[in-house]
Amino acid sequence: MQPAMMMFSSKYWARRGFSLDSALPEERPAAGSLTLNRSSSGKNEEKKGNKGNGKGESASEGGKTAVVFSLKNEVGGLVKALRLFQEKHVSMVHIESRKSKRRNSEVEIFVDCDCSKKEFNELIQLLKFQTNIVSLNPPENIWTDEEGKAVYLDCVPWFPRKISELDKCSQRVLMYGSELDADHPGFKDNVYRQRRKYFVDVAMSYKYGQPIPRVEYTAEEVKTWGVVFRELSKLYPTHACREYLKNFPLLSKYCGYREDNVPQLEDVSIFLKGKIHIWFINRYGFMKTLFSGLAYRVFHCTQYIRHGSDPLYTPEPDTCHELLGHVPLLADPKFAQFSQEIGLASLGASDEDVQKLATCYFFTIEFGLCKQEGQLRAYGAGLLSSIGELKHALSDKANVKTFDPKTTCLQECLITTFQEVYFVSESFEEAKEKMRDFAKSINRPFSVYFNPYTQSIEILKDTRSIENVVQDLRSDLNT
């Protein structure tokens, strides 16, 4: 799971460390190094032969395969290379060229072909004398789309392909945790500023797979938490959705939710992981970092607490927001799946599409309303952690419209004031289905699937990859 995805061109989300920045890690894997191989130890172990290693001795048994080679941009060079395909009776299904990224004087040729393993290996041996082999059989970052045009994955915005790569997403994170604006309640409090710096340092040193460090909160911090906890608890019975009310007592029982105790994120993470296979990591992040985590059922979160001078106000999300706003709903399987699908839809999407997804996230996961038993109820974390706006959103003064991603994504997100409009859904399931339909409009040359056994993202780029997923799902149903 991920932290609250509330980041836009406002100070609020900037303070959280959120920024719409497509440049996650600037480094991209070399051609052919982005693989779709499943883990050798997972349930869905790949039973096919080894992938090509650039030497030509591991082509598939037969059928469709591909090769990418580079040659000097000179007259007759391509003709000589293609003549080898004819000599070895290799049928070329599709051919495409592009300028080489390695040498300006060369071009790269992508050939999708149909042949036997023997014919392919013989072809490669001959090609090596006339060209530079870039990748083979088939390079998982290159394929042909429905129109037969080559699609290069390295032209798609980078995203983590396995859960351990979430750490890479944080390499260029802007940390605002210890840098407070002049209007922040704790700006002139040097003790508070040093405390915030401590939490930033802890988050920066955290790596995926490690237990979340336990925090010994100060008496002042516990007091601040207690005020927020007590006042919000008075509103929940009449303002929060039923899923929230169902899970809140469980958090009190298993995670230490009470007025005189700030729950530890590690305890909450263990609880969620055991309940719905979602867990926390202690880190801030860019918008795309946060969405990437959601795709893996990972929720980025903070550990610091708002300034004690004004417990009912915070200019940025703090642990009160995470624990009281997000966690009770993330313990609900349908809501958790809704959050994950927004994350999956963002993988490989353009900045423009990610911005639209973020706005939909803002007006659902953060400030969403639903109808239950004829009454409006809040499920957005921003509402459930804000006493004033929670009251306002369910009052006659609020402007409430039906949630429709196509129009919601155009709505302005307000930070320093209450929202001008709130969006209501009949249920999480309805909101999820609407987001699924909306995700189809995102311009990317593939779909994605989260493999829970290998904790990796599989790219669905053709019929074969889809059939593999369907077969896995059928196997799950039969066991």
CATH of the domain at 122: 3.30.70.260
Contacts of residue 129, Cβ cutoff 8 Å, sequence gap at least 6: none
Indicate whether 128 and 195 sit together in one domain: no
The CA–CA distances, whole Å, from 262 to 209, 234, 251, 322, 428 equal 23, 18, 12, 12, 29
Q: The tokens of 132 are what?
A: 């530079």
Residue 289 lies in a domain: yes
Q: Report CA Rg, the chain.
A: 26
Question: Is residue 137 a part of any domain in this protein?
Answer: yes
Helix orientation angle between 265-276 and 242-255, rounded to the nearest 10 degrees: 120
321 assigned to a ligand binding site: yes
Q: What pLDDT does 446 receive?
A: 84
Say if residue 182 is in the same domain as residue 194: yes
Percent of the chain with pLDDT over 90: 38
Query: 119, 316, 322, 366: which is the annotated catalytic residue?
Result: 366
Q: Which of 184, 239, 300, 321 is catalytic?
A: 321
Q: Are residues 253 and 287 in the same domain?
A: yes
Locus of tokens 């930033």: 200
Question: Does residue 84 contact residue 123 with C-beta atoms inside 8 Å?
Answer: yes
Say yes or no: 241 and 217 in one domain.
yes
Residue 171 has phi, psi (to 5 degrees) of -65, -30
Which range of residues forms the domain containing residue 16?
Answer: 11-27+159-444
The answer as to whether 475 is a domain residue is no
Question: Are 325 and 235 in the same domain?
Answer: yes
Question: Among this protein's residues, is 447 annotated catalytic?
Answer: no
- Average pLDDT value for residue range 378-387: 95
Number of domains in the chain: 2
pLDDT tens profile 60-93? 455 677 788 888 877 888 888 899 999 888 888 8
User: Is the Cβ–Cβ distance between 225 and 203 less than 8 Å?
Assistant: no
Active site residue 277: no
* 300 tagged catalytic: no
pLDDT tens profile 231-273: 999 999 999 999 999 999 999 999 999 999 999 999 999 999 8
HSE, CB side, 13 Å, CA atoms: give it for residue 410: 3
Residue 283 falls within a domain, yes or no? yes
Kindly state whether residues 137 and 214 are assigned to the same domain: no
Q: Is 326 annotated as a binding residue?
A: yes
Last residue of a domain, one of 105, 122, 155: 155
Among 135, 326, 447, 465, the active-site one is 326
Say if residue 15 is in the same domain as residue 101: no
- Evaluate whether 110 touches 116 at the Cβ level (below 8 Å): no
Q: Is position 51 within any domain? A: no
Is residue 52 assigned to a domain?
no
The end-to-end CA distance of the chain, in Å, is: 27
Q: Considering only CA atoms, which of 260, 258, 448, 241 is closest in space to residue 331?
A: 241
Instruction: Name the nearest CA neighbour of 192 among 227, 230, 224.
Output: 224
Q: Do residue 227 and residue 101 come from a single domain?
A: no
CA gap 60, 42 in Å, rounded: 22
Instruction: List the catalytic residue out of 385, 425, 456, 465.
Output: 385
User: What 3-state class would DSSP assign to 92?
Assistant: strand
Residues 175 and 197 both lie in one domain: yes
Is 89 annotated to bind a ligand? Reply is no
pLDDT above 50 for 42: no
302 plus 402 within the same structural domain: yes
Q: Does residue 219 fall inside a structural domain?
A: yes
**Residue scoring higher pLDDT (50 or 392):** 392
Q: Indicate the residue among 155, 175, 207 that finishes a domain.
A: 155
pLDDT on residue 387: 93
> Does the residue 33 lie in any domain?
no
**Domain final residue, candidates 134, 155, 176:** 155
Per-residue pLDDT band for 133 (boundaries 50, 70, 90) equals low
Decide if 122 is catalytic: no
Summarize pLDDT for 160-171 with one digit per residue, the tens.
888 888 877 654
68's enclosing H/E stretch is strand 62-72
Quick one: 70 and 187 in the same domain? no
